[in-house]
Amino acid sequence: MKKFFKILGITLLVLVIIIIAAPFLFKGPIERAVKKSINQNINATVEWEDLDLSLISSFPDAELKLKNLSVINKAPFEGDTLATTEELGLSLGIPQLFKGDSYSINELSVQKAYINVKVDSLGNANYDIAKETATTEETNTTEEETESALSLDIQHYEINDSKINYLDESTKTFLRITDFTHYGNGDFTADKTTLETNTEAIISFELDGVNYLNNNSLKLDADFEMDLANQKYTFLDNKLLVNQLPLIFDGYVKINETNQEVDITFNTPSSDFKNFLAIVPETYAKNLDGVETSGDFEIKGLVKGIVDEEHIPTLDISVLSNNASFKYPDLPKKVENISIDASLKNETGLLADTYLNLNKLNFKIDQDTFAANGSFKNVTENMLVNLTANGRLNLANLEQAYPLELDMDLNGILNANFTTNFDMNSIEKEQYQNVKSSGSASISNFKYNSPEIPNEVNISKASLNFNTTKVTLEEMQVQSGQTDANLTGTLDNFMGYFFSDQVLKGRFNVKSNTFAVSDFMVAETVEVTAEENTSSEKTVTTTTGEEAIKIPSFLDARLDFTANKILYDNLTLTNAKGALIIKDETATLENITSDIFGGNIGINGSVSTKAETPVFDMKLNLNRIDIVESFKDLELLQNLAPLAKALQGLLTTNLTLKGQLNDDLTPIMNSLGGTAFAEILNAKVTTTETPLLSKLDGQLNFIDLNNLNIKDLATNLKFNNGQIEVSPFSFNIKDIAITAGGSHGFDNNMNYSLDLDIPAKYLGSELSSGLANLTQTNLESTKVELPIGLSGTFASPNIQLNMKNAISDLSKQIIETQKDKAKEEVKDKIKDLLSGGSDSSTAQDSTNTEEPKTKEEQIKDAASDVLNGLFGKK
């Protein structure tokens, strides 16, 4: 007995050692076998971070786990990711570990996989990575190697929490499956077996730009008879839930060498109308518990035929409901008299021959009824649409009858009675002559709220009239904030805007009593990434408080308008009229005129908000505007001519300018470039309004600038990058001629020069008579040129009087006069000498011990005393 227990103990110890040591002993051979199988069968780059082998957790089987597995395509999808998974698990019997390199997998599991299937426009598929079957000779020569690879004898498989994307560019098909969980049990080694499956997923499906399923929940419990020898798979017991709509299937799918056979029928197991509500995604339909329904609802379908490169199965899918109703327990309104008759058919097996008939769609809420019918043919190519709608709806009742979740409150009364017939190619190519429409639609008492508009928009009445080529907007009365407008016009491509997501094209006439730009300015929002305490990041939306104007991207329209009053920032424009053309997020202003600042303005140009920073290019004609009013309210004019704030009178100016704009569409001054011609028609000067004129007036005591009247003064300006250049211009103050010119910046730094031509009579009576006696010169016709330099800023100016130049100029004039007199004196002295006279002056000079100043020096000294005394306020 002791010997038995001893042998038993040794045996158990050996087994424990084997179980513990096995992962280390067999990990290498198994990993080599996996790589060998991949290399023999797959034309792709397959990698994993780690391979783990365990005997304990999966006992009595061995469990192999590949961590962070990836499959990367080779050409023609070089570098694309076909599949990734956090973990791929394989189970095999422990005895197989001792067989060498030959292993048989009986269970497979996939955790958090991402499968990205793609078919390009040429029909190449990125999942086509299996290597071609070897020839007989190659098979014989590699038989030994093949036997040493992995084989699949699966009895159970499962896929958990995974995602699948399928994109076929050739057919414009997109399928997205998320939250995908699926398992199956069956014997894949048998010729015939029953496969038990369970599937849960969220599905979205899009075909040729049309979304047919959007995050719809899917649950499928299904058993299949698998005839693996003949590749035929037959539905047994099954139940499918799409959202909460139940469906059952019958039939089979058979895979042949060149095509697939499909013969499937399906229908709803019950005819309760609640099944219709179950089709709607659960997010919108909400909880159906407690919903009262009456009437029936039935879906049945037949899909039968061959699937190959040219054919699809024939289709006959119908949806029927008669005299049904529903009411949600928490909502006051009931939807009743519901009738639905729709069918999707294909009778030829050619994809282009698929069509949808909407024979009837009727419903009633309170006293409002609505009915529609139509057909959609050739749905996969150039779809032909024939649609009729007729009825009246109180839009507010929709939310009171059905649990909608919308960003806006529905309200207003909609009336519609129209028929339209068109093909999508004509819509997309804007061949609206092929669109045949007739009828009318109107809405009244409609209110609209949106984060993109600061005030509620009230449409008291709007009516559309449909005809063969256009939709006419017969009337639209709008109120938002302070703004009111009455619109009429035509919509050139209403069908293209409604059915094909095109920009809305049209021409409108707009009349407004008051139009306030601020009614269409909204506070901007930005996304900020904030770190939470858990060290994770969270993106939140915050308001900057800055208001921005964006020109709509969905409009391609011309608006001819008149407005009694336009409010923009702190400006008020009256009697405005002109045209506004909106296209490609750009507004073009054409021949706009308005009264402003006691005069009028003409505008032509454009504004674009397409780029991150808005830009503009404008021509402005300001005619006879009041200088005081305009310079108080227009920052642009304040910067162009800061000294004009000291003027009271009328101004005319023509400006051509372009540059960048702030979000509220006010100019960024330093970005401006352009030219201007400005003319002061008649103005008085108030020197106390500007430090420069006040300081200048204090240094020129012979001029009183406050008594100055400026009339018909004109000049040209050129500005670029915040710098204004003023071309030289001349004017007179009494009989003083002045020429001015220079430049300044929007930062108020300046560099100007003034050249004054001052008559000598302004030098003062005593000074001018003294200079005249000294020089014996008539000063009535003498003028002094005085250059003045202006620098610094307009608030803190520096004034440089060029006295040296003025003295030199005055002296030069007098000396030239004296030279002429000296010539006459010389002639007289020669005459005296010839007549025997004497020169007494020579004798007198010889007795003088100090060298006397020359006449020229005496003149310069006198001129200097006069001018320095004059401008020194002596």
Over residues 747-765, the pLDDT tens digits come to: 778 888 888 787 766 655 4
Q: Out of 84-88, 494-498, 652-656, 827-831, which region has the weakest mean confidence (pLDDT)?
A: 827-831
For residue 239, give the nearest of 185, 183, 198, 280 by alpha carbon. 198
Rounded Cα distance between 53 and 32, Å, is 13
For residue 53, give the nearest of 32, 75, 78, 71 by alpha carbon. 32
Report the pLDDT value the prediction gives residue 867, as an integer from 0 to 100.
Answer: 53
> Which residue's structure tokens are 């003023």?
726
Report the pLDDT value the prediction gives residue 15, as an integer from 0 to 100.
Answer: 44
Token pair, residue 596, equals: 């402003």
Rounded Cα distance between 855 and 839, Å, is 18
Alpha carbon of residue 626 to chain centroid? 40
Rounded Cα distance between 572 and 565, Å, is 7
Kindly tell me if the per-residue pLDDT of 20 is higher than 50: no
330: phi then psi, degrees, rounded to nearest 5: -100, 5
Cβ neighbors of 212 (< 8 A, separation 6 or more) are 205, 206
Number of Cβ within 10 Å of residue 793's Cβ equals 16
Task: For residue 133, give the 3-state DSSP assignment.
Answer: coil
Report the pLDDT value the prediction gives residue 26, as an integer from 0 to 100.
Answer: 53
The band of 801, judged by pLDDT with boundaries at 50, 70 and 90, is confident
Report the pLDDT value the prediction gives residue 22, as an integer from 0 to 100.
Answer: 46
Kindly tell me if the per-residue pLDDT of 772 is higher than 60: no
Report the pLDDT value the prediction gives residue 120, as an integer from 0 to 100.
Answer: 87
Report the pLDDT value the prediction gives residue 137, as an integer from 0 to 100.
Answer: 45
Report the pLDDT value the prediction gives residue 107, as an integer from 0 to 100.
Answer: 84
For 51-84, write each residue's pLDDT tens digit. Answer: 777 665 555 667 778 889 888 888 888 888 988 9
Kindly tell me if the per-residue pLDDT of 134 is higher than 50: no
CA dihedral 339, 344, 347, 349 (to 10 degrees): -170
CA distances from 264 to 10, 236, 251, 307 (A): 62, 12, 4, 13
Token pair, residue 504, equals: 């809305």
Q: What angle do CA 284, 285, 288 make, to 5 degrees?
A: 150
CA distances from 862 to 171, 295, 775, 813, 822 (A): 102, 119, 9, 13, 19
Query: Cβ distance 514 to 483 under 8 Å?
Result: yes
Task: For residue 3, give the 3-state DSSP assignment.
Answer: helix
Cβ neighbors of 373 (< 8 A, separation 6 or more) are 358, 359, 360, 361, 387, 388
The band of 14, judged by pLDDT with boundaries at 50, 70 and 90, is very low
Query: Cβ distance 221 to 247 under 8 Å?
Result: no
Average pLDDT over residues 647-653: 78
Rounded Cα distance between 513 and 516, Å, is 10
Task: For residue 98, give the 3-state DSSP assignment.
Answer: helix
Rounded Cα distance between 6 and 13, Å, is 11
Kindly tell me if the per-residue pLDDT of 363 is higher than 90: yes
The band of 828, judged by pLDDT with boundaries at 50, 70 and 90, is low
Query: Cβ distance 74 to 45 under 8 Å?
Result: yes
Token pair, residue 606, equals: 């454009």
H helices of 241-289, in order, are 274-279, 282-285
Token pair, residue 60, equals: 């009595």
The structural domains of the chain, with segments of one domain joined by +, span 14-133+146-170, 243-384, 755-835+853-874
The band of 317, judged by pLDDT with boundaries at 50, 70 and 90, is very high
Kindly tell me if the per-residue pLDDT of 402 is higher than 70: yes
Rounded Cα distance between 722 and 806, Å, is 34
The band of 730, judged by pLDDT with boundaries at 50, 70 and 90, is confident
Query: Cβ distance 300 to 319 under 8 Å?
Result: no
Rounded Cα distance between 180 and 200, Å, is 6
Kindly tell me if the per-residue pLDDT of 442 is higher than 80: yes
Tell me the residue length of the chain: 874
Mean pLDDT for all residues in the chain: 76
Rounded Cα distance between 16 and 21, Å, is 8
Number of Cβ within 10 Å of residue 65's Cβ equals 20
Quote the crossing angle between the two packed helices 855-871 and 803-834, to the nearest 10°. 150
Report the pLDDT value the prediction gives residue 339, as an integer from 0 to 100.
Answer: 94
For 526-566, write each residue's pLDDT tens digit. Answer: 444 545 444 445 444 444 445 567 777 777 888 899 999 88
Rounded Cα distance between 92 and 61, Å, is 6
H helices of 238-321, in order, are 274-279, 282-285
For 140-179, write each residue's pLDDT tens digit. Answer: 444 444 444 556 677 888 999 999 999 988 778 888 999 9
| Secondary structure E strands in 468-554 | 471-480, 483-491, 504-516, 522-531, 537-548
Q: Out of 183-187, 541-545, 658-662, which region has the weakest mean confidence (pLDDT)?
A: 541-545
Task: Find the helix or strand (DSSP H, E) in which 727 lies.
Answer: strand 723-733
Task: For residue 49, give the 3-state DSSP assignment.
Answer: coil
Report the pLDDT value the prediction gives residue 697, as an integer from 0 to 100.
Answer: 63
> In this predicted model, which residue has the larger pLDDT, 670 or 16?
670
> Which residue's structure tokens are 């509500």?
277
DSSP bridge pairs for 194: 225
Average pLDDT over residues 418-429: 82
> In this predicted model, which residue has the larger pLDDT, 863 or 134?
863
Name the most confidently modeled range: 139-143, 257-261, 781-785: 257-261
Q: What angle do CA 257, 263, 266 make, to 5 degrees?
A: 145
Percent of the chain at pLDDT > 90 equals 18
Q: Out of 75-89, 126-140, 556-570, 679-693, which region has the weakest mean confidence (pLDDT)?
A: 126-140
Name the most confidently modeled range: 15-24, 235-244, 696-705, 833-842: 235-244
Task: For residue 107, give the 3-state DSSP assignment.
Answer: strand
Token pair, residue 580, equals: 């506004």
DSSP bridge pairs for 539: 529
Average pLDDT over residues 226-232: 89
Token pair, residue 157, equals: 């498989």
Average pLDDT over residues 653-676: 83
Rounded Cα distance between 241 and 243, Å, is 6
Give me the half-sphere count of Cα atoms (radius 13 Å) on the Cβ side of residue 804: 1
Q: Out of 410-419, 594-603, 854-863, which region has the weakest mean confidence (pLDDT)?
A: 854-863
The band of 624, judged by pLDDT with boundaries at 50, 70 and 90, is confident
The band of 136, judged by pLDDT with boundaries at 50, 70 and 90, is very low
Kindly tell me if the per-residue pLDDT of 467 is higher than 60: yes
Rounded Cα distance between 243 and 278, Å, is 6
> In this predicted model, which residue has the larger pLDDT, 226 or 569?
226
Rounded Cα distance between 189 and 287, Å, is 45
> Which residue's structure tokens are 């609206």?
432
Query: Cβ distance 62 to 92 under 8 Å?
Result: yes
> In this predicted model, which residue has the larger pLDDT, 520 or 300?
300
H helices of 356-511, in order, are 396-401, 424-428, 494-500
Query: Cβ distance 416 to 389 under 8 Å?
Result: yes
